[in-house]
Structure 1
Amino acid sequence: MTPLRRRDSAAPEAEVTGTLRLESSVRVLLRRLRPGDIAVIDVMDLDSRTAEEIVSSRPAAVVNAQRTLSGRYPAGGAAVLVSAGIPVVDDAGNAVMALMDGTRATLGDDGVLRAGDRELASGTLLTPDSVGEALVSAEEGLRVQLTAFAADAVDRVEREAPMLLESKGLPEVEVDLKDRQVVIVAPGYQHRARLKSLRPYLREHRPVIIAVSDAADAVLEGAYPAAIVVGDVEGVSERALTKTTSIVLHDPTGGDAGSSRLDTLGLAHAKVESTLGSTDVAILMAHAAGAASIVTIGVPADLTSLLESSAHDHVAGAAGTFLARLQAGDRLIDGEALAVLYRHRYPWWVVGALLFSAVLALGVAFWITPGGRPWLEDVWQTVGGWIGVA
C-alpha cells in the first residue's frame, strides 16, 4: 500500500499499543472488541450511535480505512471518538483491511501503525480542532444529502402508503395503548443516558414502554421491563425477552429477525412485513392504537440525525422515520426535550411529611428555648379550651 502521512500539530503525543481487530461489519467487530484493542473499521462517515458503541468497548485506538468524516454531511462519529480521548487514524486505505487479525501493533503520534519496525498503515490522526473544522465544512454537503433523502421519502410513500396512511399490516398486541402514555426507546445515540434522565417521569406516570430491538436491555437496566419489543431480537437478552408482554418481529430485509430463537424459547410473537425501520413500525403502532402521547428516546429528531441514521441503516433508511413522525403529529414528544421541560411533582404524602417535619423541628426548638416552653403550654391550653380537651 502507499502510505499517506499527514501530521497534525495538535495530534496526541503518546503512542498506543494493542491487538488489531478487523471486521468489515462494525456490529460483528463490537462482539469481539476488548478494552485495549485497536479497532480497524471500514466505514465512510461514522455515525454517532456506532461511535458510541465503539467507545463503550474502550479500544486503545481506531483505524479507519475510509474517511470517518468525509464532508458529505456533518456525521458525528468522529467527534464522539475524539471527545472520548480515543486516537483515530483516518483514511488509512483499503489495504488496512487485509492486515492479520490479532497482530500486536503500535500506533504512533504520526498516524503510522507499526508492528515492530514494519510499517502496516498510515493515515491522518484526527484531533478536536481538525474534526471541528471538518464539521463546519460538512454543513455545505447537506444540500446534496437532503435531495437524496427527499427522493427516498417519496419512494417510501409509494411502497408503504397502506401502513403509513391506513395502518394496514400493523399487528394487534396484548397491551392496551389507547389513551395511554407511551415511551418508545430505540438503540440510538446516548439512548441509555437519555432514558436515565427521564426516570422521574417514568416513575410518576408509568407509561407503556416499547423497546426497539436491543434497546430492550437498556430499558430493563434503566427502568422496568418493556411491555412491547419490536424488531430483530437476536441481540436481545433472554431475560429481557421473557419479561416483556408482547414481541413483534420485524426485519426490513425480510430476514428471520429471531423467529427461530423465540420458537426455541417458547415465546409467542407477531410479525410485521415492511421495508420501514423497526422504529418507524413502533411509532405507527402506538399512533394507530390511540396512544395519548408518544415520547421517543434514541429516535432521530433533527436533519443531521436523520441523515446519520440513513447512513447507519442502508436498508431501512431514515425517510420512513421522518414520515412516521409526521403521521404521529402532535402526539409525538422528543425525550430529550421532555427531560428539559419536565418538572417532577411530589406526591401529597411527601409534601405532608416535609411539612410535619418542619413543624416538629420548630416545636422542639421552642421547647428547648428559654421562655419557649411556657409559651407552648399557654398555646396548648388555649387551643385545648377551644376544642374542649384542656
Structure 2
Amino acid sequence: MSILNWSSLSLFSSKPPPLCKGKISVGAITKVLLRDLPPGRIVVLQHRDLDEVAAQELIDQKVKAVINCQETMSGAYPTHGPLMLLQQHIPIWEADASVFEAFTTNSEIVVYEDRLFLGDQEIPCSAFTREKWLSMQQQANERTTKLMEQFIENTLTHAMREMHAVMEPLPAISLQTNLADRHVLIVSRGKGYKKDLLAAKAYVSEVKPILIGVDGGADALLECGYQPHLIIGDMDSVTDRALTCGAELVVHAYADGTAPGLLRTNALGLPAHVLPCFGTSEDAALLLAFEKQCEVLVTVGARTHMIDFLEKGRAGMGSTLLVRMKIGARLMDIKSVGILYKQQKWTKEAGSTLLLSLFFIALGFFQLHWIVKRVAHAVWKLGGEG
C-alpha cells in the first residue's frame, strides 16, 4: 500500500503525525556499519539480540532511531543493550527480516506507530518497548541455569579438541615492533572498553606500554589520543583511518591459512603479516605478545564471562580458557591495574600535600620566631632606656 492510498483512507486532518523521519544507513553487520556512520541517522540493522557494546556505540554515534529486521531480543540470554537505547530516548522498531533488502543507505523513511514508509512502499513494523524488554529479560533469566550448563559443556568440548594446538608455538612472523620485556596493552571491543581505556591514562603515561588494537580496539586507542603500535584481527570492525595510521598490521587467519582480512588490507595497499591461529583475534593477540616474550600483558575490553561470549556469537570459550591458562601470571586486566595506579596517584598527591603543609608550618614557625625575637628586642631596648 502506498502513502497516497493510505492517506486517502482517512481525513487529512485526522492523520497522525510521524513519530520519526530522516535518512537511513543500512548494515547487515552492525560493527561494519558503525565504522563510518554519520551522526543523526536512522539505522536499519539485522542484529538478533542487540548487545551492550553495539548499543553503546549506536548511542555514541548519536543515531536517531533503530529499525531492526531481526529479533532485538529473543530471550535466549539476558542483555541490557535494547534498554540502554530506550533509556537514551532512541526508539526501536522491529520489521520482518524479509523486508531488509528493500532498504538502501541515504533513502528517506517516515515512521508511524505500526508502519513505516520508504518512498511509496508501506512496511509494517512494531515498537520494541521497555515492557517487552522486561518480559524478554525475565524469560532469559529463567533459562540461565540451563544456558550455563550448555556453555560449560561446549567450553570443555572445544578445550579438549584444541588443547594440543595451544601447546604448539604460533607460526613465526617477523615483527618490526619489539615486544620483548615490555608491558603490552591489548584493547578489544568488549563491554566498557572505551571507559576503561580512559581510566588507564596514568598507567599508559607512566609505563608507556606497547599498544595493540584488536580490530575496532585500534579506533578506541586513536580516539583517546594514542598511536597503536600493532593492529591484529579479521579487519572487519576497524576503520580505514586506523588501518592507515602507521601501525603494523597482523591479519588473523584461520588455522588452514585462509585470511579474509587480507582483502581489506590489499584493497588499501597496506602490507600485513598473516597469522594463522585458532580461537578469536583476541586470543591470537594474547598468544602473539606472550610468545614475543612480553613482560606483562594488560587487557582492556577482554571478554570474561558467559554473556560476553554469547553476545559475540560464541557458544563457549574453549580457546580463551586455554590461552589464559598458558599465559598465566603475566596476564592482568586494566581494572586491577587501574586500582593500583589510582592508589599510587593518591599516595603521590598525599605526599605532595604533606610536604607543602610541612613547608608552610615551618615557614609560619620561622616567622613567629622572628616576630618573638623582634618583640623581645624591643622590650629589652625600652627597658634599657628607662
Which TM class, normalised by the smaller chain length? Answer: 0.7 to 0.9
Residue pairs, 1:211-226, within 5 angstroms: 211-222=213-224, 224-226=226-228
Once the two structures are TM-superposed, the CA of residue 19 in structure 1 deviates from its matched residue by 2.1
2:298 maps to which of 282, 292, 295: 295
- Alignment: residue pair count: 356
Residue pairs, 1:1-390, within 5 angstroms: 15-31=19-35, 33-90=37-94, 92-101=95-104, 102-108=106-112, 110-114=113-117, 119-127=122-130, 129-143=131-145, 145-146=147-148, 149-150=151-152, 152-153=154-155, 156-157=158-159, 160-169=162-171, 171=173, 173-222=175-224, 224-233=226-235, 235-237=238-240, 243-244=246-247, 246-252=248-254, 254-258=258-262, 261=265, 267=271, 269-310=272-313, 318-340=317-339, 342-346=341-345, 354=353, 357-362=356-361, 365=364, 373-375=370-372
Is contact 2:299-2:333 (8 Å) kept? yes
Give the residue type in structure 2 aligned to 1:278.
S
Is contact 1:21-1:40 (8 Å) kept? yes
- Say which SS state the counterpart of residue 205 (structure 2) adopts: helix
Give the residue type in structure 2 aligned to 1:254.
T
Give the residue type in structure 2 aligned to 1:335.
I
Once the two structures are TM-superposed, the CA of residue 165 in structure 1 deviates from its matched residue by 1.9
1: CA distance between counterparts of 2:137 and 2:191?
18
- Say which SS state the counterpart of residue 345 (structure 1) adopts: helix
Seen in structure 2, the aligned counterparts of structure 1 residues 324 and 37 have a Cα distance that, compared at 3 Å, is same
1: CA distance between counterparts of 2:111 and 2:277?
44
Is contact 1:162-1:168 (8 Å) kept? no
Seen in structure 2, the aligned counterparts of structure 1 residues 75 and 347 have a Cα distance that, compared at 3 Å, is closer
2: CA distance between counterparts of 1:366 and 1:230?
61
- Say which SS state the counterpart of residue 187 (structure 1) adopts: coil
Which region of structure 1 is more displaced relative to structure 2, 157-166 or 187-196?
Answer: 157-166
- Say which SS state the counterpart of residue 308 (structure 2) adopts: helix
2: CA distance between counterparts of 1:32 and 1:223?
19
2: CA distance between counterparts of 1:264 and 1:61?
32
Once the two structures are TM-superposed, the CA of residue 270 in structure 1 deviates from its matched residue by 2.7
Is contact 1:200-1:344 (8 Å) kept? no
Higher Cα radius of gyration: 2
Question: What is the root-mean-square deviation of aligned Cα atoms in Å?
Answer: 3.8
Task: String of CA shifts for 1:161-213, please: whole Å, max 9, x gaps.
Answer: 44412334364534444454322111223312110111112222223322212
2: CA distance between counterparts of 1:32 and 1:183?
25
Match of 1:382 in 2: none
Once the two structures are TM-superposed, the CA of residue 147 in structure 1 deviates from its matched residue by 5.2
Is contact 1:16-1:107 (8 Å) kept? yes
1: CA distance between counterparts of 2:308 and 2:119?
41
% identity of equivalent residues: 24
- Say which SS state the counterpart of residue 169 (structure 1) adopts: coil
Gaps of 5+ in 2: 2-16, 376-386
Is contact 1:71-1:137 (8 Å) kept? yes
Gaps of 5+ in 1: 2-12, 379-390
- Say which SS state the counterpart of residue 72 (structure 1) adopts: coil
Once the two structures are TM-superposed, the CA of residue 37 in structure 1 deviates from its matched residue by 2.2
Which region of structure 1 is more displaced relative to structure 2, 290-299 or 61-70?
Answer: 290-299
Give the residue type in structure 2 aligned to 1:281.
A
Q: TM-score, normalised by structure 2?
A: 0.76
Is contact 2:159-2:321 (8 Å) kept? no
- Say which SS state the counterpart of residue 21 (structure 1) adopts: strand
Task: String of CA shifts for 1:282-316, please: whole Å, max 9, x gaps.
Answer: 112233344443221111112211211225xx9xx
Seen in structure 2, the aligned counterparts of structure 1 residues 77 and 25 have a Cα distance that, compared at 3 Å, is same
Is contact 1:51-1:78 (8 Å) kept? yes
